[in-house]
A and B are shown apart, each in its own frame.
Chain A
Amino acid sequence: MSQATLRIQKISGHSGSVPGEGMYRNEKDRQVCKLIDTTTCIGCKACEIACQEWNDLPFAATSFDNTYQTLPDTQWNYWNLIRFNEQQKPDGTLMWLMRKDQCMHCAEPGCLEACPADGAIVQYSNGIVDFQSDRCIGCGYCITGCPFNIPKFHPETRKVHKCTLCSDRVSEGLEPACIKSCPTGCLHFGTKEDMSYLANQRAKQLRDHYGFANAGVYDPQGVGGTSVIYVLHDATNPEAYGGLPKDPSISWAVKLWKHPLKWLGNLAMIGGAFGLFTHYLRYGPKLEHKNGDGASKGGA
């Protein structure tokens, strides 16, 4: 890990080439990853506090709802939330599912796709998707583009905020603040390759030795894989973990709007202007007074 991992490989709303795209050796090796093992999370919230502290975020007023969850949802000033879910097993006993919710840092980010502001969202060669607030225009398109409901709007500054995967720490060779604070070893950080290996080993262990037949790794391919992956007790039912989408992808509406509609629209606008100009060249104006110059008659 070094500052070289902060070479930019994707830019929102950008015309022209991207400075770091396809430029350097071993780009895949640089991809970092956070592994969250939901089976060993005890819901202590140390990661929530570490996130608030490192990112120097003002605290949000809590609202107690009779669960072990700090807030109903992540907020512009609360990027990391342990979602609490009580799940009834077939035998009638209960399971408490704790899931650390934050930005998933998709390989194909819907926020970046939807963003119209040049450079307001970038993806580094290490896979981190980062918001650049000075470029953000506050349109909120990223909120609609994100399949995980992560970006949150700050009504006073009119900017959108989310987890940075501590890109500032990662570029200096440190692990993200949440990882640093975890007391149970539920959180791990490393290369995507290493974390995928570790996650699969843990899932196998859960299947073979702990009776979780459906245990598996959540690394959704609909968004090209993510730089945050989960080990779940039941990978067939991610929705049970506080609404983790089963097969997330960038919405049809965003895809249609950003691809076919964009090109059809551009062609139609240019074609329309060209058509009108051609009509003028062919037929000329309808003059207000026809006497004398006679230029408005059809036929050239």
Chain B
Amino acid sequence: MSSSANLLPNNRVLRYNFRERVIHWCAGVSYVYLLLTGLAFWSPWLFWIAVVLGGGSVSRMLHPWIGLVFAFAVLLMYGMWAGQMKETAEDKKWWDALHFYISNEDEKVPAAGRFNGGQKFLFWSFFWCAIVMLLTGIVLWYPQQFPETARLIAIFLHPVFALATIGLFMLHVYMGTAYERGAFGSVIRGDVSREFAIRHHKTWFDEIVRQAPPKG
């Protein structure tokens, strides 16, 4: 993103451009489908979800294909964000102040770049979980093509890592909607207020301002 274009009228700051938002929602929508059908296969108590979504056979048939869509979206996210998700010294300080972040004492939380330590953790956790889900998912897709050991490992690891993503997903949705007001708009319309940018991503905001052409 070119930084100078990030400062918008009415004290708004562009946080996610159109491409980022589209890819995010490709991953988001496909993940929700995978979550719902996956939960149907996880527990007999939730098998009705598969019935609602077109029947067990349809859910079984589509789940792997939608899994490929999700994996592809995650791959695009990797290409788009991996560089910005590298661990920095700032992140260490951010983690040390995590309890202030949790208790909403944001003035005591050290300045973060475009992505803070927690967001980087979420990104990399989701990325590695998606890799494991993809590999084990391929084995479960065509069980007769793989040796028994591979199938047993896959049948156990697929739900283990699915549970891990469910934890990440719940955290992500909670923070993106209820907890961090303004964040949901940033991934729908793309922008946040200056106040939001300064409070949560000061290093990033300062960089945008520094690179913006002087007024007048």
Contacts and interface: CB of A to CB of B under 8 A. Distances in A.
Interface of A: 13-15, 114, 116-118, 135-141, 143-144, 149, 152-153, 158, 251-254, 256-257, 261-262, 265-266, 268-269, 272-273, 276, 279-280, 283-290, 296-299
19 contacts: A14-B44, A15-B47, A116-B40, A136-B57, A140-B143, A141-B140, A149-B148, A158-B57, A158-B61, A254-B155, A257-B156, A266-B43, A268-B163, A269-B167, A272-B171, A279-B102, A285-B181, A286-B179, A286-B200
B88 to A, nearest CB: 22
A75 to B, nearest CB: 11
A141 B155 contact: yes
B193 A288 contact: yes
Contacts of B171: 272, 276
Contacts of A297: 104-105
Contact of B102 (A116, A283, A290, A296): A283
Interface string B167-202: 100110010001111100000000011011001100
Contacts of B61: 138, 158
A300 to B, nearest CB: 11
B181 to A, nearest CB: 5
Interface string B148-164: 10011101100110010
Contact of B143 (A143, A261, A280, A285): A143
B106 interface: yes
A298 B151 contact: no
B143 A144 contact: yes
Interface residues of B, number: 47
A14 B43 CA distance: 9
B195 A288 contact: yes
Contacts of B10: none
Nearest to A120: B56
B166 interface: yes
Given A116-B44, A137-B56, A285-B181, A298 B105 contact: yes
A290 B195 contact: yes
B85 interface: no
Contacts, number: 126
Contact of A265 (B163, B193, B195): B163
B2 interface: no
B41 A287 contact: no
A40 to B, nearest CB: 32
Give 6 nearest A-B pairs by CB, closest first: A288-B182, A137-B56, A253-B152, A140-B143, A298-B103, A15-B44
A117 B102 contact: no
Contacts of A118: 44, 47
A21 B84 CA distance: 58
Nearest to B108: A298
Contacts of A256: 156
Nearest to B101: A286
B179 A285 contact: yes
B180 A286 contact: yes
B63 to A, nearest CB: 9
Contacts of B105: 297-298
A276 B174 CA distance: 7
Contact of B152 (A135, A144, A261, A284): A144
A90 B144 CA distance: 37
Given A261-B156, A286-B106, 20 more contacts: A14-B44, A137-B56, A137-B60, A138-B57, A140-B144, A141-B140, A143-B144, A254-B155, A256-B156, A257-B155, A265-B42, A266-B43, A280-B179, A285-B178, A285-B179, A286-B199, A288-B195, A289-B195, A297-B104, A298-B105
Contacts of B199: 286
Interface in B73-129: 102-106
A208 to B, nearest CB: 39
Contacts of B27: none
A234 to B, nearest CB: 25
B132 to A, nearest CB: 15
Given A285-B180, A297-B104, A138 B60 contact: yes
